[in-house]
């Protein structure tokens, strides 16, 4: 019994570390995209790729406290879809798709199945 509780504790600790790291990465993306000087198309595409990767990993950070993370990520993607550069639009469309798929996965929204 003790081994099971220790394993559960370690799994919970790893999940917390993943959430903190993902939130920090997301905050860095937010800061890059909202800088006073508009970022280059390459930076925007890179930020979109990071958002896509975070969504593809399940997007646990999106629902850590509420839907605020999901709404913020969605807003960044929708703003990127309105960019003048076609490559930026495509990158943010892919990111939005990954975040949308993460939002419908039962693991993070409803807990483990």
pLDDT tens for 47-90 read: 999 999 988 887 777 777 678 888 999 999 999 999 999 999 99
- For tokens 């999106």, the residue is 62
What does the alpha-carbon distance between residue 20 and residue 33 come to, in Å, rounded to a whole number? Answer: 20
Q: Which of 16, 95, 107, 112 is nearest to 54 (CA)?
A: 95
Pair of tokens at residue 99: 């975040």
Name which residue leads in pLDDT, 36 or 19.
Answer: 36
* DSSP 8-state secondary structure symbol assigned to residue 37: S
Q: Give the predicted TM-score (pTM) of the model.
A: 0.74
pLDDT band at 113 (very low <50, low <70, confident <90, very high): very low
Q: Which of 98, 108, 107 is nearest to 54 (CA)?
A: 98
């Amino acid at each position: 019994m003790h081994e099971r509780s220790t394993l559960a504790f370690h799994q919970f600790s790893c999940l917390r570390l993943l959430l903190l790291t993902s939130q920090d990465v997301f905050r860095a993306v937010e800061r890059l995209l909202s800088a006073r000087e508009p970022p280059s198309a390459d930076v925007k595409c890179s930020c979109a790729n990071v958002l896509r990767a975070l969504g593809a990993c399940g997007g646990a950070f999106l629902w850590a406290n509420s839907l605020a993370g999901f709404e913020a990520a969605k807003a960044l993607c929708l703003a990127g879809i309105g960019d003048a550069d076609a490559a930026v639009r495509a990158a943010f469309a892919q990111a939005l798709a990954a975040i949308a798929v993460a939002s419908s996965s039962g693991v993070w929204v409803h807990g483990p199945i």
